Amino acid sequence: MELHAINETMVTIKPPISNIGILGWMRKNLFSSPVNTILTLLILSILWFSVLPFLKWALIDSTWLPDADCRGNGGGACWSIISSNYKVILFGFYPQDILWRPVTAIFMLISLLVLSRNRNFWNAILGYAWIISLVIMGILLKGGVFGLAPVDIGQWGGIILTLLLSVFGLTAAYPLGILLALGRQSKMPVIKTFCIFYIELIRGVPLISLLFMSSVVFPLFLPEGVSINGILRAQVAIIMFTAAYIAEVVRGGLQGMNKGQFEAADAIGLNYSQTMRLVILPQALKIVIPPSVSVLISAFKDTSLVVIIGLYDLLKTTQSTLSEPKWMGFSAEAYIFLALIYFICCFFMSNYSRKLEKELDTSLE
């Protein structure tokens, strides 16, 4: 009877409200010690005096309507510069009446990139889809066939030129960098010396110098009457520059491979080509995914340097918009919009690299 009475009088005691819920989380993570309290208050003060005024400037007091007069909007952001000039910023001097063609080409490219994120689609069909789609995109942009009005390649600009230089440049630079890395470790003196000389020479000069040489110096060595398009010359310079950095990254992965992998390949009778293609490179390239993506992201952002040789990429088209008297003084809004585009592209690349790392991770936990 006494035990029964004790059980009837037992009451569940809940923890203090300060230790659970939002208050508990704040106490544990933000105010758990004097140092954390000071840092929390410092960060809150920074947010209060920086983020809130920025949001007020960018959203509350801003102007969004096309061709609006931003001079009297109370000091808010003038996003009208984007809504009024987005066609010029994104597509440069491409004819305005046929913008459906570059829009369709960009949509096809983005769709292929999204599909390529899924390794389940990595097969021959996807490869053929890339080839056919690239041909269709080239026809759409260039025209001159199937009743499409021809568009000179010099009129390509904005996001078209940026994607052209980055996608094709990075795609071509990666296999070239792998070949240079293999050549640098070759036992053939001529090939090894050439690869070392090339890599160290290219890495020892800035990209601007290569772009300048491709635009100004290289045409001087061409026969009279022969010319190569400036976009193609810039594309080659970007490929050469990026490949040298990729080569050093891949070489680091090759040097990190255990000698037992080479010995195992020799034991089963694989030659050098088979060893590299089937055993070494798949493991080495998996190891160097993070630094490789860092190089590719840096190269993607460096495509904006073509502005110095007169090519109208996103940066140049944005600057041309700012040269109009109506939009002078609103460069911050234009460059924020430009930075957002670059951020989205770089975030896509970074996010995909993390996804690929997880999928290729074979470590045992």
pLDDT tens for each residue of 58-70: 888 788 888 777 7
Q: Which residue has the higher pLDDT, 362 or 278?
A: 278
pLDDT reported for residue 364: 44
Residue pair 304/339 in contact by the 8 Å Cβ criterion: no
> In the structure, what pLDDT confidence band is assigned to residue 194 with cuts at 50, 70 and 90?
very high
Using CA atoms, how far apart are residues 256 and 258, in angstroms rounded to an integer?
Answer: 6
Tokens of 141: 């942009």
Q: Which residue has the higher pLDDT, 181 or 121?
A: 181
Q: What percent of the chain has pLDDT over 90?
A: 10
> In the structure, what pLDDT confidence band is assigned to residue 17 with cuts at 50, 70 and 90?
low
pLDDT reported for residue 199: 92
Average pLDDT, the chain: 82
Helix (H, G, I), strand (E, B) or coil at 63: strand
CB neighbour burial string for 62-101, b if at least 16 within 10 angstroms, e if fewer: bbeeeebebeeeeebbbbbbbebbeebbbbbbbeeeeeeb
pLDDT reported for residue 73: 67
Residue pair 3/9 in contact by the 8 Å Cβ criterion: no
Q: Which residue has the higher pLDDT, 122 or 182?
A: 182
> In the structure, what pLDDT confidence band is assigned to residue 40 with cuts at 50, 70 and 90?
confident
**Domains, the chain, ordered by start:** 16-60 (no CATH), 80-94+151-360 (1.10.3720.10)
Q: Which residue has the higher pLDDT, 175 or 146?
A: 175
Largest CA distance in the chain: 114
Residue pair 155/91 in contact by the 8 Å Cβ criterion: no
Residue pair 43/60 in contact by the 8 Å Cβ criterion: no
> In the structure, what pLDDT confidence band is assigned to residue 50 with cuts at 50, 70 and 90?
confident
Measured N-to-C along each axis, helices 289-302 and 230-255 cross at an angle, to the nearest 10 degrees, of 160
pLDDT reported for residue 365: 46
- Over residues 176-205, mean pLDDT: 90
